């Protein structure tokens, strides 16, 4: 470790005002292989741009119109690569057919409708101008089309409204839908557009809404296939797979079980039911203290532990005077033993988990007080000018504390019977548990030491003593980071990696903490000829007509600013609620 | 005669969900499609039915004298099936958004068939649920039901006994049960 306190220069990297600064390059604590940020924040404004990019790729490659590209993408859950793979594998016609894109010959569609058309739905003759022919060639009257669209949008099926004809799988042209619906139901036309726009989030396996409540309005796109934890620009850190709080090194399943267990406190309830019974006379809970099944309440009433019935006071080993319930066996005893053992095990892990979570909360307050200490030191006229180590250490403390607290539920499931009973022999399990607990203990010790030094009133110390604290903090920061890294490696390679059931995956350890999703760069591209219909209601939109709906003024603003920019009524999509929520509240 | 193709729902659960949705929609969508339009369409179907009576002797559709949204049909059990010789009565409840939403149809005559609920007469048929298309008519729904009688789908049974017989390969058992009920319920009593 010597290298870490070799010279002042090396340690005096530039001071930083906030913990955010630590996200930046810091060669010292750089264990994880560095990758560019793989997740992007999609805000209300960049949502259009995000879709546009994918739509354009498909439109260009297949030379199709926008609504066809969208239909194809929705069918393939916005996975452009998969769509292209299907194209190569099965060919264009299958790709189109499966997704409901109609390849009816375009010349035929160019032919104008005859002066009158018989609509097969209302069985009425209508003027050609009052009927619409869809890409699949099927023609019905506008009134029937509108009714059909309205019913489907109300059903929440607006992303894929099928043609009205029997057995026709073609998806209706969104421009036609928008146009017809907006004439009579402008509110529904808006809803239709919102559904289409949000399909990019709802139907996309790489994109999730940020799970914050109240909702920040953002979604996150993750480019990697890996399990990961991300931080939204609203500050919430979450697991991208299960959308609950970041929980590594627990797997999603472990975390789900743990949360449920803590909520139910099922074990505690078991314990109470196994260990106390209500007195048949005064109904107070009575705890059993000893092997005997004749218990007596403080009110003086004696009763049989097994059936709860009131009894006389005399008893022998096998019977109680004036009472025979036939349950005087040790069966209940065994159950009680088991429940007790399980409860103690759970309590062991839960107490430690809780202790670290609580410390984490307390230490979060340190963030404020420690700034005061730093400013006291800065005002002093001393050799020591740079206090980056304080924030650095504090950050490392938070990071390791998190890892430590989640490592307890992990261990609870890893070495318990619930998930992996048949995966290891008892002996294997003991060895692995030892290995893991060794590491956990080491980490625990160092985290506590780090915490102690950072909480110390070092602003009151002599200069020499401050130098000592600094060295300790630097040293311990490095050690805890290394230990966290090692623990994850052990979990990934020796514990989860050796399982037959490959369902437990965890987000990898990152020294620098959970990745902050970066802003999606909004590049409107050069050819904005194909406009995305962001759907102001009532507008008649021909899909080939450029409308430039995404204006460039949206492009250069950061999302934080944008979040505050929401003018009242100015935006027509309330992305603060997923579409179905909005619907429910409207109904 | 038009060829009717259809498939039957694959799971029970799905049916339950869809049914509740249908009910919800009917409450919400009441004024979406004018009742006038449904009436007009039903009236046209009525006229069409009068003309088709001759063309399709297997189906006899009639409308309630006082309510154009209530229909009944008598359909002949298809030949070479256990339902041959039986006449089955169907009841139609047509929603106000018809034909944008499907009619509700059930058997009034008891029938032993895997896709028909033995007690309620409910029918499990996709075109009456999510595969509905406004281009269907009451007449074509009857044809689809006749086709279902001839080709049961034991994998989505509303009548489990019947479904189990078929699934276990006991065709004869199924047929004799079905024939028995046809005789009991769908044939005019002798004497
Ligand atoms: Zn029409
Ligand atoms: Zn069509
Ligand atoms: Zn957020
Ligand atoms: Zn998770
Ligand atoms: Zn008592
Ligand atoms: Zn005793
Ligand atoms: Zn007893």
Q: What is the CATH number of the domain that holds A141?
A: 3.30.40.10
Write down the pLDDT at residue A478: 94
Residue pair B145/B75 in contact (Cβ under 8 Å)? The answer is yes
Residue of A121, A123, A151 with shortest CB distance to B32: A151
Supply the range of the domain harboring residue A344.
252-278+330-495
| Residues A135 and A257 occupy one common structural domain | no
Write down the pLDDT at residue A36: 56
B61: in domain: yes
Residue A162 DSSP one-character state: B
Distance of CA A216 from the midpoint of ligand 3 (Å): 5
Q: Please measure the distance between the N-terminal and C-terminal CA atoms of chain B and give it in whole angstroms.
A: 36
Q: What is the CATH number of the domain that holds A451?
A: 1.20.120
Min Cα separation B10/chain A (Å): 18
The number of beta carbons lying within 10 Å of the beta carbon of residue A28 is 16
| Residues A380 and A483 occupy one common structural domain | yes
Supply the range of the domain harboring residue B110.
50-186
| Residues A355 and A427 occupy one common structural domain | yes
**Which two structure tokens, joined as six digits, stand for A149?**
């669209």
B106: in domain: yes
A136: in domain: yes
A550 pLDDT band (50/70/90 cuts)?
A: very low
A45: in domain: no
- Indicate which residue of A228, A239, A282, A292 is catalytic: A292
User: Which of B22, B133, B143 to mutate: most A Cβ within 10 Å?
Assistant: B133
Write down the pLDDT at residue A283: 76
pLDDT at A411 over 90: yes
| Residues A261 and A401 occupy one common structural domain | yes
- What's the structural domain count of chain B? 1
| Residues A176 and A257 occupy one common structural domain | no
Cis bond leading into B191, ω under 30°? no
Distance of CA A541 from the midpoint of ligand 6 (Å): 88
Question: Angle of helix A266-275 relative to helix A252-264, nearest 10 degrees?
Answer: 40
- What's the structural domain count of chain A? 2
Q: How far is CA B33 from CA A146, A151, A371, in A?
A: 9, 8, 66
**Which two structure tokens, joined as six digits, stand for B10?**
């694959």
Longest dimension (CA), chain B: 52
Catalytic residues of B: 124
- pTM given for the model: 0.59
| Residues A127 and A262 occupy one common structural domain | no
A117-121, A512-516, B149-153: lowest mean pLDDT where?
A: A512-516
A155: in domain: yes
Mean pLDDT for chain A?
76
Tens-place pLDDT, residues A199-235: 888 888 888 888 888 888 888 888 776 788 889 988 8
| Residues A135 and A259 occupy one common structural domain | no
Would you call A501 helix, strand, or coil by DSSP? coil
Tens-place pLDDT, residues A423-443: 888 898 899 999 999 999 999
A491: in domain: yes
* Contact check, Cβ <8 Å, B135/A165: yes
A145 pLDDT band (50/70/90 cuts)?
A: very high
CA triple A371-A372-A373, angle to 5 deg: 90
Mean pLDDT for chain B?
79
Q: Please measure the distance between the N-terminal and C-terminal CA atoms of chain A and give it in whole angstroms.
A: 65
The ligand whose atoms approach the alpha carbon of A322 most closely is 7
B5: in domain: no
Among the candidates A439, A469, A495, a domain finishes at A495
Tens-place pLDDT, residues A127-141: 988 999 998 889 999
Residue A24 DSSP one-character state: S
Query: In whole angstroms, what is the distance from residue A286 CA to residue A305 CA?
Result: 9
**Which two structure tokens, joined as six digits, stand for B65?**
């004298």
Write down the pLDDT at residue A543: 38
Min Cα separation B97/chain A (Å): 8
Q: How far is CA B105 from CA B3, B57, B77, in A?
A: 20, 20, 17
CA triple A66-A72-A76, angle to 5 deg: 140
A vs B, Cβ pairs < 8 A, gives 54
| Residues A198 and A272 occupy one common structural domain | no
Quick one: average pLDDT of B141-157?
Answer: 88
* Contact check, Cβ <8 Å, B33/A151: yes
B120: in domain: yes
Short-list A573, A246, A585, CA closest to A399: A246
- Phi-psi region at B104: left, alpha or beta (left = phi > 0; alpha = psi -120 to 50): beta
* Contact check, Cβ <8 Å, B29/A120: no
Closest chain A residue to the Cα of B101, Cα to Cα: A151
Residue pair A141/A119 in contact (Cβ under 8 Å)? The answer is yes
A532 pLDDT band (50/70/90 cuts)?
A: very low
Among the candidates A442, A466, A495, a domain finishes at A495
B90: in domain: yes
Among the candidates A495, A520, A550, a domain finishes at A495
Tens-place pLDDT, residues A288-320: 665 566 677 877 787 777 667 777 666 655 555
Residue of A151, A165, A168 with shortest CB distance to B100: A151
Short-list A164, A162, A158, CA closest to A185: A158
Query: In whole angstroms, what is the distance from residue B57 CA to residue B72 CA?
Result: 15
Q: What is the CATH number of the domain that holds B174?
A: 3.10.110.10
A382: in domain: yes
Predicted-complex ipTM score: 0.71
């Amino acid at each position: 470790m010597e290298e870490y306190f070799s010279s002042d220069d090396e340690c005096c990297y530039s001071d930083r005002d906030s913990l955010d600064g630590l996200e930046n390059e810091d060669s010292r604590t750089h264990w994880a292989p560095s990758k560019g940020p793989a997740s992007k924040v999609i805000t209300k404004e960049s949502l259009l741009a995000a879709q546009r990019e994918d739509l354009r790729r498909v439109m260009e490659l297949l030379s199709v119109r926008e609504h066809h590209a969208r239909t194809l993408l929705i069918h393939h859950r916005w996975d452009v690569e998969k769509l292209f793979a299907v194209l190569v594998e099965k060919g264009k016609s299958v790709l189109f057919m499966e997704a409901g894109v109609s390849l009816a010959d375009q010349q035929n569609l160019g032919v104008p409708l005859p002066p009158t058309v018989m609509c097969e739905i209302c069985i009425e003759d209508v003027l050609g101008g009052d009927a619409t022919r869809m890409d699949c060639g099927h023609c019905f009257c506008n009134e029937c089309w509108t009714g059909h669209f309205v019913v489907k949008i109300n059903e929440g099926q607006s992303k894929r409204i099928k043609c009205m004809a029997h057995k026709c799988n073609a998806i209706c042209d969104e421009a036609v839908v928008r146009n017809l619906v907006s004439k009579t139901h402008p509110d529904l036309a808006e809803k239709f557009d919102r559904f289409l726009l949000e399909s990019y989030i709802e139907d996309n396996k790489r994109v999730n809404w940020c799970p914050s409540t109240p909702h920040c309005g953002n979604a996150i796109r993750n480019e990697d296939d890996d399990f990961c934890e991300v931080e939204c620009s609203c500050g919430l850190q979450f697991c991208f797979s299960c959308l609950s709080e970041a929980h590594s090194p627990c797997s999603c399943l472990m975390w789900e079980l743990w949360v449920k267990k803590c909520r139910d406190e099922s074990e505690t309830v078991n314990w109470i039911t196994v260990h106390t019974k209500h007195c048949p006379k005064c109904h107070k809970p009575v705890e059993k203290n000893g092997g005997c099944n004749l218990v007596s309440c403080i009110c003086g009433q004696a009763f049989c532990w097994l059936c709860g019935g009131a009894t006389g006071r005399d008893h022998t080993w096998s019977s109680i005077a004036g009472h025979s319930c036939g349950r005087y066996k040790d069966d209940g005893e065994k159950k009680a033993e088991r429940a007790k053992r399980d409860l103690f095990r759970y309590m062991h892990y839960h107490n430690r988990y809780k202790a670290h979570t609580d410390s984490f909360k307390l230490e979060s307050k340190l963030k404020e007080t420690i700034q005061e200490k730093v400013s006291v030191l800065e005002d002093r006229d001393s050799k020591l000018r740079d206090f980056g180590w304080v924030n650095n250490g504090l950050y490392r403390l938070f990071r390791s504390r998190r890892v430590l607290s989640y490592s307890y539920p992990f261990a609870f499931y890893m070495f318990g019977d619930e998930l992996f009973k048949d995966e290891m022999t008892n002996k294997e399990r003991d060895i692995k548990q030892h290995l893991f607990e060794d590491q956990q203990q080491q980490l625990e010790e160092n985290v506590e030491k780090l915490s102690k030094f950072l909480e110390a009133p070092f602003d009151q110390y002599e200069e020499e003593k401050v130098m000592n604290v600094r060295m300790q903090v630097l040293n311990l920061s490095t050690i805890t980071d290394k230990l966290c890294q090692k623990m994850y490696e052990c979990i990934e390679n020796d514990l989860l990696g050796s399982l037959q059931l490959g369902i437990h995956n965890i987000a990898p350890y990152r020294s620098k903490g959970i990745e902050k999703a970066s802003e999606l760069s909004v590049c409107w591209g050069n050819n904005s000829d194909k406009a995305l219909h962001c759907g102001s209601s009532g507008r008649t939109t021909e899909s080939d007509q450029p409308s430039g709906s995404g204006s460039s003024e949206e492009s250069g603003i950061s999302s934080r600013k944008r979040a505050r920019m929401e003018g009242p009524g100015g935006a027509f999509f309330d992305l603060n609620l997923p579409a179905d929520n909005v619907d429910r509240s409207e109904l | 005669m038009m060829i009717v193709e259809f498939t039957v729902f694959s799971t029970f659960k799905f049916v339950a969900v869809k049914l509740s949705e249908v009910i919800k929609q009917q409450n919400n969508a009441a004024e979406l499609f004018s009742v006038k339009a449904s009436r007009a369409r039903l009236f046209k179907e009525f006229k069409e039915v009068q003309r088709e009576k001759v063309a399709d002797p297997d189906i006899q559709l009639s409308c309630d004298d006082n309510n154009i949204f209530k229909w009944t049909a008598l359909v002949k059990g298809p030949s070479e099936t256990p339902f041959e010789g039986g006449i089955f009565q169907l009841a139609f409840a047509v929603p106000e958004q018809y034909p944008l939403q499907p009619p509700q149809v059930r058997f009034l005559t008891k029938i032993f068939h895997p896709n028909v609920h033995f007690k309620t007469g409910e029918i499990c048929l996709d075109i009456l649920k999510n595969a509905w298309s406004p281009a269907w008519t009451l007449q074509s729904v009857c044809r689809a039901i006749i086709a279902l009688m001839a080709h049961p789908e034991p994998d989505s049974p509303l009548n489990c006994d019947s479904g189990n017989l078929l699934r276990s390969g006991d065709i004869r058992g199924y047929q004799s049960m079905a024939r028995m009920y046809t005789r009991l319920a769908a044939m005019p009593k002798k004497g």
